[in-house]
Amino acid sequence: MAGRTARLVLLAGAAALASGSQGDREPVYRDCVHRCEERNCSGGALRHFRSRQPIYMSLAGWTCQDDCKYECMWVTVGLYLKEGHKVPQFHGKVSLNAWFWSTVFHTKDTDLTEKMDYFCASTVILHSIYLCCVSSGSRGRTVGLQHPAVVSAFRALLLLMLTAHVSYLSLVRFDYGYNLAANVAIGLVNVVWWLAWCLRNQHRLPHVRKCMAVVLLLQGLSLLELLDFPPFFWVLDAHAIWHISTIPVHVLFFSFLKDDSLYLLKESEAKFKLD
């Protein structure tokens, strides 16, 4: 019992540390955000920011502080690349939160930990759909920058779907069959959308092949969640093998995200030079 409690405490501490991400803790980033907020997010400067802010960004809840964090993120990324360092992660919370609750649930199965595991899994899938939405559009890039009003409406729809899903399972009945069917349905939407984006951009962006491999591998591995079988050596069942198998897949997906971020950075720098 004491051992399990200690593991839970350690996991909670690790999740708290991880939620900040390396980029968020970088002194250059923090100092940049602090100076930006002091300079732009109060008094006349704040009124000027709000007066020139497009209405769709205001409706989306984009604040002066958010703008500072976004701009300083790219400043920090540029400094990392200039010094020859790897690009740091910023604001990495959603996936880590899901993995944290999955670990807690598999350590101690209670009504709360089970619900948090299932709800966070649904959140990750919906978040992946949202990311695909802001990574598609004209020339296959960033609906969020070209049609932010559409993205804001789509984000509200996804949040409404998640709220309805969680409310039904929490307040009406925790139906395992419904939960499985709902996750399979949104999972298929996620797979089809990502594959369509990959196929549309595979010739223009070579690193998209990594994303396509990730999508196909996860789709294949998801069969382990549907086709259960007795555990090997009474230790490794289908669910355990699913979790183990997804580790290298996420490493490959991170490699794709890094390549895609570097591509976007170079594209932004080239556009800035042309302007």
Mean pLDDT, consecutive 10-residue stretches, the chain (275 aa), reads 38 39 80 92 91 80 85 85 75 69 80 91 90 62 61 88 95 92 92 90 88 91 77 78 87 88 76 56
Residue 137 zone, left/alpha/beta (φ > 0; ψ -120 to 50; rest):
left
- Distance between first and last Cα of the chain: 63
- Best CA proximity match to 212, nearest among 226, 224, 199: 199
Phi first, then psi: give them for residue 201, nearest 5 degrees.
Answer: -120, 5
Contact 119, 166 (CB under 8 A): yes
Tell me the three state secondary structure of residue 141.
Answer: coil
Q: For residues 261 and 45, give the distance between their C-alpha atoms in angstroms, rounded to a whole number.
A: 31
Q: Is 216 helix (H, G, I), strand (E, B) or coil?
A: helix
Position 223: which residue type?
Answer: L
Contacts of 97 (CB under 8 A, 6+ apart): 15, 19, 120, 123
pLDDT at 170: 94
Q: How many CB atoms lie within 10 A of CB 230?
A: 7
Give pLDDT, residue 270. 67
* pTM as predicted: 0.66
Q: How far is Cα 217 from Cα 221, in angstroms, rounded to an integer?
A: 6
For residues 179 and 203, give the distance between their C-alpha atoms in angstroms, rounded to a whole number: 37
Residue 27, C-beta contacts closer than 8 angstroms, at least 6 positions apart: none
Is 198 exposed, middle or buried, given 0-12, 13-18 or 19+ CB atoms closer than 10 A?
buried
Is residue 132 within 8 A of residue 190, CB to CB? The reply is yes
How many degrees, rounded to 5, is the angle at CA 150 between CA 212 and CA 208?
15
